[in-house]
Chain A
Amino acid sequence: MSTGRLPDDSLLRLYLLGKRMEEVEQDRIERSYFESDECFDRLLEIEDDLIDTYIRGGLSPEERVQFERHFLAAGRHRERYEAMRAIAANFFRDGPRPRHSRLSGIRAFLVMQSSAARAAMAVLGIGAIVALGLLGARYARLSTEKANASALAASSRLAPARGELAFALAPGLLRSNSRRAGPRVACAAPEDDGVTTVSAVRGRPEHRAWRRGASPGRFGAGRRCGGSSNLSQSSDGGTRLRRLIGWDGD
């Protein structure tokens, strides 16, 4: 019998499950597997496939009923089923599963994917690694900057240095007249940035313009030294200025 005339697998499957079919159809199938080795071998394979699918829970409800009522009614089928079930049970019930490392689990997962899916996953994985690397670098940079800023701020928050005045105010030369018409606050403790600017603007042309930035380490944290001040010549100007910045030196 030629291969082209062999009944197809779905028909053989229905035959084995005992599904009702036309007498002519059944006769054709039986004649086929009697005369053709190929058809007979195929039928045996489908028998095993049916048992296998049943064990794996892959039969439709209707097929399952047919399988249990008709197929397993044959002693030979039952024996085969019991043997296959005993073997299959070891893979999902009785025997403890061998311990797999996480790596081998990932490998197994990858192995089970299609080649296209694996390629897509590889691309995604590389993209994720690159993105993570960039994020990490950015984070590291930000952390460094933050650490530097913190260190800078910490170093600027030193206790006010007492009795240290980086500039010289000669008594009698300058005077602050912040209260009224005179020069406003000429100097105060430095702000957080640690830089204190002491400015003196000549009240009169003959007065010397004076401006100086003080080292934060020397003035310490505090309020900013306010803008410019009109300083006038006074015999105790230097003393008053010292008071304004909280300097209580000698």
Chain B
Amino acid sequence: VIPEPPIDAPPAFSVANDEYARLRRRLIMFFERRGCVAPDNLADDCFARLAASTKSGWRPDNLRTYLFGIAGNVYLEYMRSPGRSWEELPENVARDSDSPAAEDSRWIARAVIDTLSPEERELMEAHYLDKLSWKKLADGFGLTDAGMRVKVMRLRNRLLEDYGDQLNSIGLKRKATDRSVRVDGL
């Protein structure tokens, strides 16, 4: 299997991968807030301009502030461009889907939930099912409100991470299966 290159490779200037990812996310957030159609593309556009301006060896004093300025310019140009409009939302975006992919994701989520300890499960049930306030939840577990928020957030992020990993692995498997089907069909 030949590994595919990542879709969003960092530009060819010296920014650490982690910092690049966070800067990109900031830019995406910036364009999302303004209702831009393709915030990812606009973020990449910002990096392309940054790369162009630093090609000569010049470096901005503050990369983030500089990038923020670039984002503002990119947005102004975007506003002048044709076809800028809100992205068409799929119907009932907040509703459940019955597609096979949605069924897969539910199955994966269930598998991820099964890895919780009884105490963790109890906590998440109290949070989602019983809809207890942060204060009640914190009192029940002998923590402060902030401590409880952090605990739930970490637990949720762990679940989301596992969920994402498993979803990716299934996606890769599915992609491999599709390829083999195509090869077989040749």
Q: Give residues in A with beta carbon < 8 Å to B.
A: 15-16, 18, 26, 30-31, 33-35, 37, 40, 43-45, 48, 52, 54-58, 68-70, 72-78, 80-84, 86-92, 94-95, 97-98, 108, 111-115
Contact = CB atoms under 8 A, between A and B. Distances in A.
14 contacts: A15-B33, A35-B62, A40-B25, A76-B28, A76-B39, A81-B94, A89-B106, A90-B110, A91-B128, A92-B128, A92-B129, A108-B126, A114-B139, A115-B139
A43 B160 CA distance: 18
A74 B87 CA distance: 8
Which 7 interchain pairs have the tightest Cβ spacing?
Answer: A86-B109, A114-B139, A112-B140, A91-B128, A74-B32, A34-B68, A90-B113
Given A18-B35, A34-B26, 18 more contacts: A15-B33, A30-B30, A30-B68, A34-B64, A56-B127, A72-B93, A72-B94, A74-B32, A74-B39, A76-B28, A84-B160, A86-B109, A87-B159, A91-B124, A92-B128, A97-B125, A112-B126, A113-B140
Contacts of A108: 122, 126
A70 B122 CA distance: 33
B156 interface: yes
Interface in B24-53: 25-26, 28-30, 32-33, 35, 39
A84 B109 CA distance: 9
B125 A73 contact: no
A95 B139 contact: no
A77 B32 contact: yes
A22 to B, nearest CB: 14
Contacts of B108: 86
A55 B33 CA distance: 21
A76 B30 CA distance: 13
Q: Which of A16, A26, A76, A86 has the most CB of B within 10 A?
A: A86
Interface string B157-169: 1011001100100
Contacts of A91: 113, 121, 124-125, 127-129
A112 B164 contact: no
The secondary-structure label for the interface of chain A is helix
Interface of B: 22, 25-26, 28-30, 32-33, 35, 39, 62, 64-65, 67-68, 86-87, 89, 93-94, 105-106, 108-110, 112-113, 118, 121-122, 124-132, 135-137, 139-142, 153, 156-157, 159-160, 163-164, 167
Contacts of A18: 33, 35
B129 A72 contact: no
A81 B102 CA distance: 13
Nearest to A110: B140
Contacts of B163: 83, 86-87
Contacts of B39: 74, 76
Contact of B164 (A54, A83, A97): A83
Contact of A84 (B67, B113, B156): B156
A73 B64 contact: no
B35 to A, nearest CB: 7
A34 B126 contact: no
Nearest to A86: B109
A115 B142 CA distance: 8
B7 to A, nearest CB: 14
Nearest to A33: B26
Contacts of B68: 30-31, 34-35
B136 A112 contact: yes
Contacts of B112: 87
A102 B128 CA distance: 21
Contacts of B32: 73-74, 76-77
A138 to B, nearest CB: 38
A136 to B, nearest CB: 33
A83 B160 contact: yes
B105 to A, nearest CB: 5
